[in-house]
């Protein structure tokens, strides 16, 4: 595959992001957008069909690699285990008619891990840190993504894909894979994703808004986790 320039025959969503990206590339997993932002250099665009209906969500995702494969130590393994309990997702709370408030919450499957591992601890430290960030929460309230998730790479992709979409409780196979990785992690990589039903009329606004959310999240998570160790971080896209 070769990186393409933004031309008149590029997909509509690519043309809508000309002031955000410097190139794009089709891959088996979706479309990679090469951002002008130096810290978050790549974003992956995918389309997720909702079960039992024809609606399709546009999902944007990126990764923040803090400790590459091959550079793990016992201390960094301990840090990974601390961070694993800090994963979160977005939940919308109805406060009154026609008004919803975004809340960052721990995903339910962390309780499954806690049931399987007595030493596993769920922490809201990262959630509290991000929930106090006015810029981030303002972007989320403005763009209103349907889904937002931040998790650590913690299993083989082929194991996750076998799980299927829209499942809160994880299969025993996937849990076993996560626990095996948790006990001996080989990297620390955050996966950040946002998804929304995007209309053509507001495609540019919503895609730019979700990229803004990914950029702010990457920056704030980097700030939160980097003091825990000494390592350089780099943003790139991954197929979650």
Cβ neighbourhood burial of 196 (10 Å; 0-12, 13-18, 19+): buried
CA gap 79, 231 in Å, rounded:
12
Phi-psi region of 70 (alpha: psi -120 to 50; beta: other; left: phi over 0): left
Contact (Cβ atoms closer than 8 angstroms) between residue 140 and residue 216: no
Start-to-end Cα distance in the chain? 20
Region of 188 (left: φ > 0; alpha: ψ -120 to 50; beta: rest) is: beta
CA-CA distance, 81 to 90, in Å (whole number)? 22
Contact 84, 117 (CB under 8 A): no
**In 3-state terms, what secondary structure has residue 48?**
strand
> pLDDT of the chain along its 240 residues, tens only?
456 666 667 888 888 898 899 889 989 889 999 998 767 899 999 998 776 666 789 999 999 999 999 899 999 999 999 999 999 999 999 887 778 999 999 999 999 999 999 999 999 999 999 999 999 999 999 999 999 999 999 975 544 444 444 455 678 888 999 999 999 999 999 999 999 999 888 999 999 999 999 999 999 999 998 888 654 445 555 554
What local confidence, expressed as pLDDT, does residue 33 receive?
94
Domain locations along the chain: 67-195+202-233
pLDDT of residue 165: 42
From residue 123, how far is each of 39, 47, 81, 118 by CA, in Å?
27, 31, 11, 14
Could you give the count of Cα atoms lying within 13 Å of 214 in the half-sphere of its Cβ?
33
Q: Tell me, what's the pLDDT at 193?
A: 97
Q: How far is CA 110 from the centre of its chain?
A: 16
């Amino acid at each position: 595959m070769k990186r393409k320039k933004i031309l008149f025959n590029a997909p509509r969503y690519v043309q809508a992001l000309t002031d955000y990206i410097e190139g794009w590339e089709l891959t088996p997993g979706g479309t990679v957008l090469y951002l002008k932002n130096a810290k978050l250099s790549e974003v992956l665009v995918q389309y997720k069909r909702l079960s039992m209906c024809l609606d399709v969500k546009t999902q944007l995702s990126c990764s923040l690699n803090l400790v590459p494969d091959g550079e793990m130590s016992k201390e960094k393994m301990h840090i990974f285990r601390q961070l694993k309990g800090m994963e979160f997702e977005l939940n919308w709370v109805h406060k009154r008619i026609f008004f919803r408030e975004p809340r960052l919450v721990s995903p339910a499957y962390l309780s499954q891990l806690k049931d399987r591992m007595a030493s596993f601890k769920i922490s809201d430290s990262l959630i509290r840190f991000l929930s106090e960030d006015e810029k981030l929460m303002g972007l989320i309230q403005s763009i209103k993504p349907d889904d937002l998730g931040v998790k650590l790479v913690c299993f083989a992709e082929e194991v996750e894909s076998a799980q299927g979409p829209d499942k809160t409780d994880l299969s025993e196979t996937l849990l076993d894979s996560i626990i095996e990785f948790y006990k001996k992690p080989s990297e620390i990589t955050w996966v950040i994703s946002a998804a929304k039903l995007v209309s053509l009329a507001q495609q540019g606004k919503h895609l730019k808004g979700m990229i803004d959310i990914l950029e702010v999240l990457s920056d704030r998570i980097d700030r939160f986790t980097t003091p825990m160790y000494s390592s350089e971080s780099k943003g790139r896209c991954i197929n979650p």
